[in-house]
Structure 1
Amino acid sequence: MHKSFGAVEVLKGVSLTVERGQVVALIGRSGSGKSTLLRCINGLETIQSGRIEIAGEEVTQDKEKLRHLRTEVGIVFQSYNLFPHLSVGENIMLAPKIVKKVAAKEAHDTAREVLQLVGLSEKFDAYPDQLSGGQQQRVAIARSLAMHPKLMLFDEVTSALDPELTEEVLNVMERLARNGMTMILVTHEMGFAKRVANTTVFMHKGRIWEEGPSQELFANPQTPELRQFVKADVK
């Protein structure tokens, strides 16, 4: 696929296949196109050419199809985007009730279930400003999970958190991976990518520079660009 913002081409012919149940980490310097790639996959950005297909359905800008896509593909950003005037439970129940027309009791039961999954069962009636950053990010993940997505996208979800809170969120993501959730994540956490992702993709200047099994890719970089990137992270 190709994606440009005005005269600037950000994605320069990116091709990527992700299998069901696979965890793929996207790494690379800022500006390499990682977050733009995620936004294109979720239909938040329009591509100039190419094709994106998820579970047999092509991603288009048709409003009805986009609405359906967003029930199948969850995306979690660096900012939590929780509604401050709603409780944690209400934040999670909102989309299933409005978008999927789920009955209130079913939405309530699902909210309880996903909060347990992210380790926040006791926070159902709390409000976002009563939570730490790590807890708010875990609620944001739970909110996406409540839609029962086929694919989860994570865009640098720990970059605004301190190390202890980062570990909280990474533990939840690792649990999702063990449970078979298909995930694509943009991350600066190289240790996590190496440990949890089946495949790591190194992006550089809008292209996929290297791609392979995570352990091998980190242990044996094939290009000077990835060697330098890995070396800088070790420091």
Structure 2
Amino acid sequence: MSVVVAKNIRKSFGGLQVLKGVSLTVEGGEVVALIGGSGSGKSTFLRCLNGLESVDSGEIEVAGHRMSRKPAELRRLRRDVGIVFQSYNLFPHLTAGENIMLAPVQVKGIGKDAARSEAKRCLSLVGLGDRFEAYPDMLSGGQQQRVAIARSLAMQPKVLLFDEVTSALDPELTGEVLAVIEKLARDGMTMILVTHEMGFARRVANRTIFMRDGIIHEEGPSAEFFSSPKTPELRAFLHAEVG
């Protein structure tokens, strides 16, 4: 069953056209990696799927929600579509557990005891079951990013979006975060990842998409995509990334 359906998405900022007719369908349980150079439109496209950016034209349906600018409908969509950014955006005055509890209590109206139990479960899922009472400044960057992932998981989303979540981390901490995402993939979470980690995309994503100049330039099953790129532009991009 298709969980994400985007049709002919166009988006401009002023006179700059960033998305020039992007269409994508993602099935339940599928992991899709978006790769491409800076300015190719991949992060803007991801933000459109969550309603953080409005589209100029086209249609989007995610987790059964048709994209709308009506606040109530946007809130319903965001309950089912989590997004994790490269910056962790944790509240420094709240513990890891309190950061995770916040949205289930305030957005979903869940009682604090149930939210606390769910926060502990989600922290355990990302390997931080013993850090419920830790404040963000007591955690490494990799740990903070894992708390951010746990915060999204606590909303029990149907789709998770990741926007370059390891780009601010050193290699060791990057490995911690990628291991969590890989486990989510094994558990069947539907995910779309904007990433520059080519080896990870090849290993974990069912499908990889190369965006260039605001369009999907090439896509395919990840193993084939990386081993036999069809266009010179993708070959050049992969060579630059690996080399």
Band the TM-score falls in, shorter-chain normalisation: over 0.9
Unpaired runs of 5+ residues, structure 1, are none
Deviations 1:85-120 (A, max 9, x none): 000110000000000000111100100000000000
Counterpart of 1:179, as a letter, is D
- Of 176, 189, 192 in structure 2, the residue corresponding to residue 184 of structure 1 is 192
Does residue 160 of structure 2 align to residue 152 of structure 1?
yes
Match of 1:232 in 2: 240
Counterpart of 1:75, as a letter, is I
Distance in 2 (CA, whole Å) between partners of 1:79 and 1:167 is 17
Deviations 1:162-199 (A, max 9, x none): 00000000000000000000000000000000000000
Once the 2 structures are TM-superposed, how far is the Cα of residue 234 of structure 1 from its aligned partner?
Answer: 1.6
Match of 1:193 in 2: 201
Deviations 1:138-170 (A, max 9, x none): 000000000000000000000000000000000
Unpaired runs of 5+ residues, structure 2, are 1-8
Q: Secondary structure at the match of 1:172?
A: helix
The root-mean-square deviation of aligned C-alpha atoms, in Å, is 0.5
Once the 2 structures are TM-superposed, how far is the Cα of residue 233 of structure 1 from its aligned partner?
Answer: 1.4
Q: Secondary structure at the match of 1:18?
A: strand
- Of 147, 163, 166 in structure 1, the residue corresponding to residue 171 of structure 2 is 163
Does residue 231 of structure 2 align to residue 223 of structure 1?
yes
Does residue 93 of structure 2 align to residue 85 of structure 1?
yes
Say whether the 8 Å CA contact 2:123–2:132 is kept in structure 1.
yes
Q: Following superposition of structure 1 onto structure 2, how do residues 27-42 of structure 1 map, counting pairs within 5 Å?
A: 27-42=35-50
Say whether the 8 Å CA contact 2:83–2:160 is kept in structure 1.
yes
Deviations 1:13-43 (A, max 9, x none): 0000000000000000010000000000000
Match of 1:18 in 2: 26
Q: TM-score, normalised by structure 1?
A: 0.99
- Of 70, 89, 93 in structure 1, the residue corresponding to residue 78 of structure 2 is 70
Answer with 56-65 or 152-161: which moved more: 56-65
Distance in 2 (CA, whole Å) between partners of 1:195 and 1:130 is 32
Q: TM-score, normalised by structure 2?
A: 0.96
Once the 2 structures are TM-superposed, how far is the Cα of residue 137 of structure 1 from its aligned partner?
Answer: 0.2
Match of 1:142 in 2: 150
Q: Secondary structure at the match of 1:17?
A: strand
Deviations 1:44-82 (A, max 9, x none): 001000000013321111100011111100000000000
Q: Which runs of 4+ in 1 moved over 3 A?
A: none
Distance in 2 (CA, whole Å) between partners of 1:100 and 1:17 is 28
Distance in 2 (CA, whole Å) between partners of 1:153 and 1:85 is 26
Report the number of matched residues.
Answer: 235
Match of 2:125 in 1: 117
Counterpart of 1:122, as a letter, is D
Say whether the 8 Å CA contact 2:84–2:148 is kept in structure 1.
yes
Distance in 2 (CA, whole Å) between partners of 1:128 and 1:57 is 33
Q: Percent identity?
A: 69
Distance in 2 (CA, whole Å) between partners of 1:186 and 1:140 is 16
Distance in 1 (CA, whole Å) between partners of 2:215 and 2:33 is 15
